[in-house]
A and B are shown apart, each in its own frame.
Chain A
Amino acid sequence: MSPIKSLIDRLGRGVIDFLAEMGGMGLLFFKATLFIFRPPYRFRNLFKQMESIGVGSIPVVLITAVFTGMVLALQSYTGFKRFNAEGLVGTVVALSMTRELGPVLTGLIVAGRAGAAIAAELGTMKVTEQVDALATLAVDPVQYLVTPRFVAGIVMLPVLTIFSDLIGIVGGYAVAVKVLGANAGVYLQRTTQYLELEDLLGGLVKAAVFGGIIAGVSCYKGFQAEGGAEGVGRATTGAVVVSEMLILISNYYVTAFLR
């Protein structure tokens, strides 16, 4: 085969694989959503997933958020001082955290942590035929395994994001007031003055979208796993990479949509 033909061939196959994967994910999202409204409702599975996706991620989310808030205060102070706008540091921290960094960083962290865990668990179940065993016991694996994770992701990401927003703002406050010597009262006033409910809610909507993406993509990748431990490893990596990409891409579009 000529090099050009082979290149086109490879490219074509890549595009087809990509489209097939997107189609498969779309279908899984759709099915998982349908099962939200169809009994039996699996509250036990749901709470278990809310715990492992949500509660388990709190420490890393908080650490990330507090340092992000801190560095944000430091950086914007340094920059804003050049045109005598140091007074706006509190505003910048509050808006950046709630509108952007809270949801996005939480999303990326949970993708790395819970997304990987979901893909590894479902991938292992797939290659050891536990997923098939569920089906032979007349239980739809999507309903039993995917829907609880999907709902848990959509519910827990906004919750984590609220923590993240709050702690980020606290971190910014600490640096601005304790390290940079800003006036505490003025800083707080500037934090709340320009912050609107819309900023907070918009961020939470993004977080919910990210939660759905993480759970859906990771379940899909887990179900696609084939061929033992190596396949599970590949599924896990794939789950993290694809969810993080989709988070960053959808972030732009959801922001544009909400604006």
Chain B
Amino acid sequence: MTDGIRSVVTPHTNGMIELRNVYKSFGNHHVLRGVNLTVAAGEGMVVIGGSGTGKSVILKHIIGLMQPDAGEVIIDGQNLADLSERDLFEFRKRFGMLFQGAALFDSLTVWENVAFGLKEHRFLAKDEMMEIARQKLTKVGLSGIEEKMPADLSGGMKKRVGLARAIAMNPKIILYDEPTTGLDPIMSDVINQLISEMNRDLAVTSVTITHDMKSAYSIANKIAMLYHGEILEVGTPEEIQNSDNPVIQQFIHGRSEGPIQID
């Protein structure tokens, strides 16, 4: 308990992420089988891998929504398993997360969604919160929808509102689950640039899941491929592109023929 509080009160929030030998099963379904992944502070990591291989599960481990069956998740030197429940909530203030399905609060308006963290954790006037929400929405290419309800938005708009909510508190670590899925090519580029900018200018550490290789190359410092519950290879975009591993070659070129079994 005291340990947890001390580490929260004196945060050296540079944003380093380490997964050490993480295992996770759901019943008999062994999703993660010894995942090792280190994301350096300020680095933009992209995780690729087949559908249903456990990429979203990895993100949920990093932010402590899921606990590993075995192995450790260490953020800025702090093992999440050593935090009390209360400290874990406190610890999450350094994170922002975009969910694959956006996960907007459907009882709140768009701007209330974006400003949710501000309202909960900062003492700001309503005007200030609205202003920040508006700025963040502009960053993701949305304006004039502040008072709308999430149910009235398109899929791609929801995704971008989710993104605005994830970055609203200027977190040190941002987890993006398929940020450009469902967006048109131009909007995808806008979002890719936003993500790169935040890594470059604000020294944010990010982990991005994407199926969009163009997006992966544009935002990644490093790319990691998840395959059969393990990280098959990690490398710079060039290294991955030039990898001689046939699994990686098949995946990044999107070929149905190859060592990856389609079932």
A129 touching B103, Cβ below 8 Å: yes
Q: Which residue of B lies closest to A38 (CB)?
A: B86
Instruction: Tell which of B113-121, B218-226, B231-239 binds the partner.
Output: B113-121
B63 at the interface (CB under 8 A from A): yes
**Alpha-carbon distance between A125 and B105 when the two chains are bound, in angstroms:** 8
List the A residue with the shortest CB-CB distance to B63. A136
Find chain A residues with CB under 8 A from B95 CB: 136
A85 to chain B, nearest CB (A): 55
Bound together, the chains give a CA A129 to CA B96 distance in angstroms of 15
Size of the chain B interface, CB-CB below 8 angstroms: 23
A40: nearest residue on chain B (CB-CB)? Answer: B120
Binds B, one of A5-13, A100-108, A137-145: A137-145
B111 at the interface (CB under 8 A from A): no
A189 close to chain B: CB less than 8 A = no
List the A residue with the shortest CB-CB distance to B92: A138
B99–A135 CB distance below 8 A: no
Contact B60–A132 (Cβ < 8 Å): yes
A78 at the interface (CB under 8 A from B): no
Total contacts A-B at CB 8 Å: 51
Are A136 and B104 in contact, with the CB atoms below 8 A? no
Chain B residues in 8 Å Cβ range of A125: 105-106
Chain A nearest Cβ from B30, distance in angstroms: 19
Tell me which of B85, B90, B101, B116 contacts A137 (CB under 8 A).
B116
- Chain A contact-residue range equals 10 to 19
Report yes or no: A133 in contact with B117, Cβ–Cβ below 8 A. no
* Residue of B89, B90, B101, B121 touching A129 (CB-CB under 8 A): B101
Contacts of B120 in A (CB 8 A): 40, 137-139
Check: A130 CB closer than 8 A to any chain B CB: yes
A residues in contact with B45, CB < 8 Å: none
Interface residues of B in 50-67 (CB under 8 A from A): 60, 63, 65
Q: Chain B residues near A135: list those with CB within 8 A.
A: 65, 89, 92
Binding site for B on A (CB under 8 A): 40, 124-125, 128-130, 132-140
- Beyond A132-B65, A135-B92, A137-B92, list 7 extra A-B contacts (CB 8 Å): A130-B106, A133-B99, A135-B89, A138-B89, A138-B121, A140-B85, A140-B86
Q: Can you show 27 pairs from A to B with CB atoms below 8 A apart?
A: A125-B105, A125-B106, A128-B101, A128-B106, A130-B103, A130-B105, A132-B65, A132-B99, A132-B103, A133-B99, A133-B103, A133-B104, A133-B105, A134-B105, A135-B65, A135-B92, A136-B65, A136-B96, A136-B97, A137-B117, A137-B120, A138-B92, A138-B117, A138-B120, A139-B116, A140-B85, A140-B86
